[in-house]
Amino acid sequence: MKLSILFSILTLKSVFATRFIIQLTNEVELHKYTNKFLREFGINSDEAQVELYSVGKNFQAFSAILEQDHLRSLYNDLNIAAISIDRQLEPQEMIVQKDAPRHLTKLLETEAGDNEFVYDSTAGNGVDIYIFDTGIARNSPGLSASRIHDMPGMPGPPIRDQEILEHGTAMSGLIGSPAFGVLKKCNLIDVNVGDENGKVFMSKVLKGLNLVQQHVKHTNRPSVINFSYCTLKNAILNSAFDNFPRDVPIAVAAGNYKQPGCSFSPVGCQRNKSLLAFGSLLMNDDGITLSDFSNYGSCVGSYAPGEGLLTFGIPDTSRPNSRDTVIIISGTSGSSALGAGVIGYYMAQGIPGEEVVDSLRIVQPNLTSYGKNNGINILKMA
């Protein structure tokens, strides 16, 4: 760890000054250490855009725009647990077609030949789904605007292009839309972790985790996080997710890289047993196949449909009053969204989140085969 940090400091000269995330050990107090560090180097907290993060009992960190000399001083500091560039995370979804044909609705069948979706009449009423994404389009006709809520403290940046909202809107459609959602009456909490260009960075994710854990304590409602982004394995990001309170399940996308999921974050989190990574399946008349883009392996705890999923996008601004916003998506982002909906469905019935996740987790999930009918355990609703 120390060598890798030093290597980054010595070789990444092109990024200075840029935003870094500094994780502290539990032996120091976050505010005191950060203030001391800023004073010693004469750093203006506003100019450096300093932010503090605390997740669970054992994760604390701060981020700031720092220069090379600042980082050199931190390398030998025993109070530092890890240092990382504010890495960008990627959405795990590919939009492949608009104007979805109706026959594709059969891709979400629960049984072959049966196109009915039977669900409890409460449909998740009173359950909060926190959607970590780049925003949700309130004007999407397929979503109930009254059930979409801003995350307090994270209103989101000014949007330069409505298309930035498409990914978060699509995930919301799979989770809570009346037409395509698993949990049709849930509350969709818009945790906007994107910037004005729709890019997602670790620092904003850490801020979101920090605020959500506080919000859940205040509301005391059944809550689930959907996180459809990932990046290459990062110790700080994994630590934050590992330390998030266990009573709030986290559904994450396994990743679309056709590689072992343990090589990515937060997929590779091992300590938080309430975090469940979802891989993608193709389901058709020929059987069930692991999607040829899906990550796999021991860190991927469950699998759900992830190809040809019907959901809602953003309204077509070139066509006034257009209500034609149905799109088809593929990717483990969609698998994660469906997984979050199913977790919320059972929590609405009074089952604790940890128990729900444990029941959905595959006992031996080390799947590496991409062949058909290979014994894949599928996410199902009883």
CATH number of the domain encompassing residue 170: 3.40.50.200
What is the pLDDT at residue 102?
35
What is the pLDDT at residue 8?
44
Residue 374 lies in a domain: no
Total structural domains within the chain: 2
* Cis geometry, peptide bond prior to residue 240 (ω within 30 degrees of 0): no
User: Catalytic positions, please?
Assistant: 133, 167, 333
Tell which of 61, 86, 111 closes a domain.
86
Rounded to two decimals, the pTM is 0.83
Tens-digit pLDDT profile for residues 3-46? 444 444 444 444 447 899 999 999 999 999 999 999 999 999 99
> Predicted confidence band at 344 (pLDDT cuts at 50, 70, 90)?
very high
- Give the whole-angstrom CA distance, residue 213 versus residue 250: 12
- The verdict on 206 and 340 lying in the same domain is yes
- The verdict on 173 and 281 lying in the same domain is yes
Residue 369 lies in a domain: no
- CA distances from residue 278 to 18, 151, 330, 342, 365 in whole angstroms, order as listed: 33, 25, 13, 12, 11
Most confident by average pLDDT, 181-195, 313-327, 355-369:
181-195
> Predicted confidence band at 288 (pLDDT cuts at 50, 70, 90)?
confident
Residue 381 lies in a domain: no
Asked if pLDDT for residue 170 goes beyond 70, the answer is yes
CATH value at residue 11: 3.30.70
What is the pLDDT at residue 103?
28
Residue 380 lies in a domain: no
Residue 102 lies in a domain: yes
Residue 72 lies in a domain: yes
> Predicted confidence band at 323 (pLDDT cuts at 50, 70, 90)?
low
Domain that holds residue 217: 89-360
Identify the residue with better confidence: 144 or 356: 356
Tell me the mean pLDDT in the region 302-315. 89
**Whole-number average pLDDT of the chain:** 83
What is the pLDDT at residue 343?
94
What is the pLDDT at residue 273?
94
Tell me the mean pLDDT in the region 253-265. 96
> Predicted confidence band at 269 (pLDDT cuts at 50, 70, 90)?
very high
Tens-digit pLDDT profile for residues 361-371? 875 444 444 44
Q: Determine contact, residues 180/311, Cβ cutoff 8 Å.
A: yes
Asked if pLDDT for residue 230 goes beyond 70, the answer is yes
Residue 194 lies in a domain: yes
Tell me the mean pLDDT in the region 145-159. 84
Tell which of 42, 68, 86 closes a domain.
86
What is the pLDDT at residue 157?
73
Residue 368 lies in a domain: no
Of all residues in the chain, the percent with pLDDT exceeding 70 is: 79
- The verdict on 116 and 253 lying in the same domain is yes
